[in-house]
Amino acid sequence: MRRRARPGGGNRAARAVALASAVLLLTGCAQSVDPIERLGKKAAEGVRRSAPAPERAYRRWGLAAPLAAPPRHAARPLATRTLSQAGVVDRVTTTDRVVFLTYDDAAVRDRSLTALIGELRLPVTVFTTPDTLGPGRAARLRAAGVTVGGRLPRHPALTGLPRARQRAELCARQDRLAARLGTRPRLLRPRADAYDATTLRAAADCGITALVRGTGAGDPDRLAPGAIIRVTPDDEGDLTGRTARVLREVQGRGLTVGNLRDYL
């Protein structure tokens, strides 16, 4: 005896088949939003990299050729003893044809300069204070590969204060910079001659190995091997433009930019 089909059963089956077909069609046609799946690994790497490579970036900053790579120096072991006092450095004694570019607080605020440093991969050192170096600025400097050092405070003036007071002030500032950077700076820039022998001993107590002074960007002796150049804004307040001009002068003397941290 044949069983009679239920009314509407064929329609439900047809709808089920159509729905399954639509799901398969959408699954096959959908594109992944992941660039590696859509473009392949090598193509995706090109999408993710937006900054120009140094060999192309030099033209953007007015250089005739890429900067020469500085000499490689073997990694030095950590000091096994505590220095009795920090040294004072105006220039580095070296036969390498390198100079060292250093900056103060103005560089921390200059996004254009940070772009130049990052694109050319310049191994520069910026000396700043924890009050100037907020979390966002610290992240930008880290991303650009900048070495950060501390600066002596304007207030209180440390000269003449006892060692314990100077140590407390310097170590507190070191702690604040370390919280921003993830590491404690070991270089410090004084303000003119606002330090004394006690400052050097207190600085060593806080893990600082050297007070770095250097020469101005307009000093006639600035373009000699081992010079520590203190780059400041020009008369129009342009720090990036002055840096580009200094780099052209450096190239013209057959020099390149070294990493101060590797030499001190």
DSSP 219-253: -TTTTSTTBEEE----TTS-HHHHHHHHHHHHHHT
| Listed residue (143, 148, 168) closest to 158, CA to CA | 168
The owner of tokens 């103060």 is: 104
* Number of domains forming the structure of the chain: 1
> Is 43 a domain residue?
no
pTM for the structure as a whole? 0.76
pLDDT of 108 above 90: yes
Question: What distance in Å separates the CA atoms of residue 194 and residue 215, rounded to the nearest whole number?
Answer: 17
> Is 194 a domain residue?
yes
> Is 118 a domain residue?
yes
> Is 225 a domain residue?
yes
Domain span including residue 212: 54-68+84-263
The owner of tokens 């450096």 is: 250
**pLDDT digit string (tens) for 7-43?**
555 555 455 445 444 444 444 444 433 332 333 333 3
> Is 170 a domain residue?
yes
Beta carbons of 102 and 257 less than 8 angstroms apart: no
- Indicate the residue type of 124: V
> Is 206 a domain residue?
yes
> Is 47 a domain residue?
no
List the CATH number of the domain containing 111. 3.20.20.370
**pLDDT digit string (tens) for 183-231?**
999 999 998 888 999 999 999 999 999 999 998 877 777 789 999 999 9
**pLDDT digit string (tens) for 144-185?**
999 999 998 887 789 999 999 999 999 999 999 999 999 999
Beta carbons of 95 and 225 less than 8 angstroms apart: yes
